[in-house]
């Protein structure tokens, strides 16, 4: 067991914050475990928790409490937005067609595929070398007519920030619902919806210190989406099912904390990230920071280390006590660069050699120190290995 | 019990009794402790964990012995869309390996070898069938993947050793049969690089399958009662022709009809492609002969599948190509024990001729269905694996 453990994979998930756990506990115990739809005291106690959380989230996002729909997480919220909008459009005789950016999370991309599979059509909006979505392509999609446009605010792999305010305005002008996946944006950059005229907005609990299995979709126009789950009519029928009360309460607490701490966190994370990038480039001079020159969120950096492969790097880093993630994925046949790096035009050999470090509130300068200390030797070994394996 | 399991084996190929005793104690040496950096540093070993019971127990025994154990599962192929009802990428077995590693308190990783395994093992498997031979992909997997590519990773991770769940015993740079004759897998190991043997640990080689399961149960490993897989890992449902059909063009000679002939040259029918046949096969041949007929030869150049009586299946001489030695190479006149099929008895023989990469051995007794593409593994009377080659 390594002496010191460093967790730099906060974009994958985060530990539950003690304050969040504290807030949740009553809703797991004998007093407030009730079904929020029940009229008795147990139900009322649970309902109070749900409504309070809804209010906190609405306040933090600058929306109405009635616009917050809880889901089982970011993936479900994204599916509801993309598929729900497509189904609603088809229902009213609109275009059964959606447009999503090429660097969306798989939750959005796979939902878009599902629409195509159902007989609809998907339009993939390309990005440039910095990961910025092509606004020309958006214009063409809007001109053709689509049920929804989905663009993520902050990309989970490289941290690129999209101008969602401007994109939202263009969609509104065209009368097209606009969905923003805000899972990696909320708590990291100023992410109030006051200035973003989006129709739908996704957040996820476990990226901000709430447990896994809870998320929310802000639905500003209930006519824009049709339910994809069917049941007892809870949450206006948009997302039926007995509410995950403890999760919802946890999400409320985490959102409130994240909103309050956002500016301070961003400053700290940016300083740590910059320090990591600067020192990493000093010890591995040919490393490449993917999307470095674009507008980036403060907590994520994607680094490609030529002549290596990320699987082996991750393994060696883990043995050294350092947890981060790769920029590659298993697809049929072999390890391939992620769709994000591929869409940005990152060459394959750099794409399969990408590491993602993502910062959370617990990280310190010592964590950066640990990475920079361990990396040169690891890179040397993995390069030697890769040279043998790719001979 | 053991006698029944060993019926049909040549007594001289049994491990000598002193080996048995040592093997019972331990089939692998205890770790050395190097000193440095403020205390003892345990020797590190990379264990190939397939998600089955054998390699799970191998890892467990190494942990108990005090090694610094790192577990890894090799991802060798992807079923992809071809087999939708199977978990893609055998995720179940990766999960099992991961659970065992977690239980043992050791790290576990997945190593992707799909490209290299596809090239070194699957492509060869297809090419061999395409030229009328019956390959053993497990042999090439051991030679090229498990005991070569895997070792590269071990080197990078500063591992002194690699370990697997093979039923074979590596000791002092030599490889021996596993103690459980019904499980012995040394036959598949003749092709590995000789220098690798000194870095192999074979913790279950001295156990019977039953003892292996007992260890797994004692430790509460999820894989304790897992059913053994007997098929070739990348061939779903034992349908190797399906694999060939996916990899070869539709008009490949191996898959298209050709004449079924007798050794005398008489055409007695048509077959559906010689890759569907193997030497000694009886199934799928026409009836109407005085005695049961078997495939006795495949002639890819004329697409002929030759059938004959059971007597015609026996041969006295075996020639091996791609020969590899795990001991001092044998010379003409030397006596060896030759095993031509997995679980078949080894037969005494004498080396007739050795040329670069090939060896011809005259056998003291005839052997049934000597099949090109299968392996000939050479042993000494102590059960030491001397080397082997591919039957030509």
pLDDT in tens, B295-329: 999 999 999 999 999 999 999 999 999 999 999 99
Low-confidence ranges of chain A (pLDDT < 70): 1, 328-334, 391
- Give, for B99, the enclosing helix (H) or strand (E): helix B91-104
* Reported pTM: 0.89
* Cβ(A352)–Cβ(A303) below 8 Å: no
**Comparing C-alpha atoms, which of B67, B77, B68, B73 is closest to residue B55?**
B73
Does A385 contact B81 at a Cβ distance shorter than 8 Å? no
Q: Which residues of chain A make contact with B74, given a CB cutoff of 8 A?
A: none
Instruction: Find chain B residues with C-beta within 8 A of A312's C-beta.
Output: 153, 156
Q: Give yes or no for a contact between A215 and A203, defined as CB atoms under 8 angstroms apart.
A: yes
Q: What angle do CA B179, B185, B191 make, to 5 degrees?
A: 125
- Most A CBs within 10 Å: which of B153, B154, B158, as the mutation test of the A interface? B153
Query: What residues contact residue B329 under an 8 Å CB cut-off, 6+ apart?
Result: B354, B387
Rg of chain A over all Cα atoms, to the nearest angstrom: 21
Structure tokens at B183: 């499980």
Shortest CA gap B47–chain A (Å): 14
Enumerate residues 6+ apart whose C-beta is below 8 A from B219: B57, B60, B103, B104
Residue contact B109–A315, C-beta within 8 A? yes
The token pair that represents A316 in the structure block = 């060696």
Distances (CA, A) of B300 to A46, B4, B127, B341: 76, 40, 12, 22
Closest-CA residue in chain B for A334? B114
Q: Token pair for residue B364?
A: 């003291």
- Chain B, nearest residue to A315 by Cα: B109
Distance CA B65, CA B54 (A): 16
Quick one: closest CA in B to A311, which residue? B111
Decide: helix, strand or coil at residue A346.
coil
CB pairs under 8 A between A and B: 45
CA distances A38 to A35, A43, A243, B273, B343, Å, are: 5, 5, 12, 70, 68
Cβ–Cβ gap A334/B112 under 8 Å = yes
What is the Cα–Cα distance from B152 to B154, expressed in whole angstroms?
5
Packed helices A106-117 and A74-91: angle between N→C axes, nearest 10 degrees: 30
| Cα–Cα dist B145/A224, whole Å | 54
Q: How far apart are CA A14 and CA B6, in angstroms?
A: 57
B157 interface with A at CB cutoff 8 Å: yes
Distance from CA of B340 to the nearest CA of A (A): 32
End-to-end CA distance of chain B: 37
Position B28 scores a pLDDT of 60
Structure tokens at A159: 């941290």
| Known active-site residue B141 | yes
According to the model, what pLDDT value does residue B15 have? 38
Residue of B nearest to A377 (CA): B156
The CA-based diameter of chain A, rounded to the nearest angstrom, is 71
Residues in chain B closer than 8 A to A334 (CB atoms):
112, 114-115
Min Cα distance B77 → chain A (Å) is: 7
Question: Any idea what DSSP says for residue B147?
Answer: I
Torsion of CA A132, A70, A269, A130, to 10 degrees: -10
φ, ψ of residue B94 to 5 degrees: the values are -65, -40
> For residue A335, which residues of chain B lie inside 8 Å, CB to CB?
112, 114
What's the Cα-to-Cα distance from A6 to each of A137, A286, A298, B336, rounded to whole Å?
A: 41, 24, 18, 57
Helices (H), chain A: 18-24, 41-61, 74-91, 106-117, 135-144, 164-174, 245-283, 310-319, 339-343, 348-351, 365-389
Closest CA to B377 of B137, B177, B149: B177
Nearest Cα of chain B lies from the Cα of A75 at a distance, in angstroms, of 21
Sequence-ordered list of residues with C-beta below 8 angstroms from that of A164, at least 6 positions apart, any chain: A151, A153, A180, A196, A198
Q: Which residues of A are catalytic?
A: 330
Please give the Cα distance from B8 to B182 (Å, whole number).
12
Give me the residue from B81, B114, B152 closest to A385, CB to CB. Answer: B152
Tokens found for residue A324:
């981060």
Active site residue B89: no
A332 vs B70, B80, B109: nearest CB: B80
Residue B78 contacts A, CB cutoff 8 Å: yes
> How close is the nearest chain A Cα to the Cα of B237, in Å?
20
The pLDDT, as a whole number, for residue B80 is 58
Residues making up chain A, counted from first to last: 391
Q: B216-253 pLDDT, tens per residue?
A: 999 999 999 888 877 888 988 889 999 999 999 999 99
Indicate the residue of B78, B109, B110 with minimum beta-carbon distance to A333: B78
Q: Which of B78, B88, B89, B141 is catalytic?
A: B141
Nearest to A319 among B107, B149, B155 (CB): B107
Taking contacts as CB-CB distances below 8 angstroms, the residues of chain B near A316 are 156-157
Q: Which two tokens stand for residue B238?
A: 């034992």
Q: Does A382 touch chain B (CB under 8 A)?
A: yes
Interchain CB contact of A384 with B (< 8 Å): yes
Q: Does A381 touch chain B (CB under 8 A)?
A: yes
Residue B257 to residue B38: CA distance in whole angstroms: 71
**Smallest Cα distance from B111 to chain A, Å:** 7
> Nearest-CA residue of chain A relative to B111?
A311
State how far the Cα of A68 lies from the Cα of A201, in Å rounded to an integer.
9
Terminal Cα distance for chain A, rounded: 33
**Which stretches in chain B have pLDDT values below 70?**
1-40, 79-91
Q: How far apart are CA A241 and CA B250, in angstroms?
A: 52
Q: Do B121 and B137 touch, CB atoms closer than 8 A?
A: yes
CB A191 within 8 A of CB A182: yes
Phi and psi, residue B162, nearest 5°: -120, 150
**A334 contacts B80? CB cut-off 8 A:** no
Closest-CA residue of A relative to B155 is: A385
Is A279 in the B-facing interface, judged by CB distances under 8 Å? no
**Which residues of chain A make contact with B149, given a CB cutoff of 8 A?**
389
The interface residues of chain A toward chain B in range 301-320, judged by CB-CB distance below 8 A, are 311-312, 314-316, 318-319
Contact list, A311 vs chain B (CB under 8 Å) = 109-112
Q: Tokens 């559906």: give the residue.
A: B272
């Amino acid at each position: 067991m390594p002496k010191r453990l460093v967790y730099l994979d906060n974009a994958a998930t985060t530990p539950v914050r003690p304050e969040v756990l504290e807030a949740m506990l009553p809703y797991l115990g004998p007093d407030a475990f009730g079904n929020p739809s029940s009229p008795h005291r147990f139900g009322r106690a649970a309902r109070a928790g749900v409504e309070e959380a809804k209010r906190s989230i609405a306040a933090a996002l600058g929306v109405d409490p009635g616009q917050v729909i809880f889901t089982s997480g970011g993936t479900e919220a994204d599916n509801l937005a993309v598929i729900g909008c497509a189904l609603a459009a088809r229902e009213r005789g609109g275009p059964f067609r959606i447009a999503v950016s090429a660097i969306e999370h798989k939750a959005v991309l796979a939902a878009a595929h599902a629409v195509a599979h159902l007989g609809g059509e998907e339009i993939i909006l390309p990005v440039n070398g910095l990961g910025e979505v092509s606004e020309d392509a958006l214009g063409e999609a809007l001109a053709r007519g689509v049920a929804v446009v989905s663009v993520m605010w902050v990309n989970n792999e490289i941290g690129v920030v999209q101008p969602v305010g401007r994109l939202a305005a263009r969609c509104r002008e065209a009368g097209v619902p606009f969905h923003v996946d805000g899972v990696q944006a909320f708590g990291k950059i100023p992410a109030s919806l006051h200035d973003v005229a989006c129709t739908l907005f996704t957040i996820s609990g476990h990226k901000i210190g709430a447990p896994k299995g809870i998320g929310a979709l802000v639905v500003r126009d209930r006519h824009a989406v049709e339910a994809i789950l069917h049941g007892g009519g809870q949450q206006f029928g948009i997302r039926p099912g007995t509410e995950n009360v403890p999760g919802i309460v946890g999400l409320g607490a985490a959102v409130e904390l994240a909103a309050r701490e956002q500016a301070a966190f961003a400053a700290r994370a940016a300083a740590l990230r910059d320090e990591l990038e600067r020192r990493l480039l000093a010890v591995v001079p040919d490393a490449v920071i993917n999307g470095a020159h674009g507008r980036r969120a403060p907590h994520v950096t994607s680094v490609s280390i030529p002549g290596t492969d990320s699987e082996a790097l991750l393994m060696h880093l883990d043995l050294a006590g350092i947890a981060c993630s790769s920029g590659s994925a298993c697809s049929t046949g072999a390890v391939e660069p992620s769709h994000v790096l591929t869409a940005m035009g990152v060459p394959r050999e750099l794409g399969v050699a990408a590491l993602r470090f993502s910062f959370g509130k617990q990280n310190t300068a010592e964590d950066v120190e640990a990475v920079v200390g361990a990396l040169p030797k690891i890179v040397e070994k993995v390069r030697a290995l890769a040279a043998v394996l790719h001979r | 019990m053991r006698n029944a399991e060993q019926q049909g084996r040549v007594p001289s190929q049994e491990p000598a009794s002193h080996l048995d005793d040592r093997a019972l104690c331990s089939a692998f040496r205890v770790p050395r402790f190097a000193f440095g950096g403020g205390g003892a540093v345990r020797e590190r070993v990379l264990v190939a964990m397939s998600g089955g019971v054998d390699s799970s127990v191998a890892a467990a025994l190494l942990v108990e012995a005090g090694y610094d154990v790192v577990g890894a599962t090799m991802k060798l192929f992807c079923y992809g869309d071809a087999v939708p009802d199977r978990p893609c990428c055998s995720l179940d077995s990766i999960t099992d390996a991961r659970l065992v590693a977690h239980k043992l308190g050791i790290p576990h990783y997945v190593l992707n070898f799909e490209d290299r395994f596809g090239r070194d093992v699957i492509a060869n498997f297809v090419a061999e069938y395409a030229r009328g031979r019956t390959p053993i992909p497990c042999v090439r997997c051991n030679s090229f993947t498990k005991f070569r590519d895997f070792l590269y990773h071990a080197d990078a991770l500063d591992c002194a050793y690699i370990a697997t769940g093979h039923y074979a015993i590596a000791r002092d740079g030599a490889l021996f049969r596993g103690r459980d004759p019904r499980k012995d897998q040394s036959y598949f190991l003749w092709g590995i690089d000789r220098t690798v043997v000194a870095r192999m640990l074979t913790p279950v080689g001295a156990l019977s399958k039953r003892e292996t399961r007992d260890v797994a149960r004692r430790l509460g490993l999820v894989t304790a009662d897992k059913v053994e897989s007997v098929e070739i890992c990348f061939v779903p449902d034992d349908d190797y022709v399906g694999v060939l059909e996916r990899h070869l063009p539709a008009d490949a000679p191996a898959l298209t009809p050709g004449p079924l002939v007798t050794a005398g040259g008489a055409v007695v029918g048509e077959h559906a492609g010689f890759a569907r046949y193997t030497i000694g096969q009886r199934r799928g041949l026409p009836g109407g002969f005085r005695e049961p007929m078997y495939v006795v030869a495949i002639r890819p150049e004329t697409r002929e599948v030759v059938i004959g009586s059971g007597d015609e299946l026996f041969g006295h001489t075996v020639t091996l190509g791609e020969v590899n030695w795990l001991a001092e190479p044998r010379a003409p006149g030397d006596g060896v024990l030759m095993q031509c099929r997995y679980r078949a008895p080894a037969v005494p023989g004498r080396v007739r001729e050795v040329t670069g990469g090939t060896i011809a051995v005259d056998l003291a007794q005839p052997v049934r269905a000597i099949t090109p593409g299968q392996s000939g593994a050479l042993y000494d009377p102590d059960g030491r694996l001397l080397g082997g080659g591919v039957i030509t």
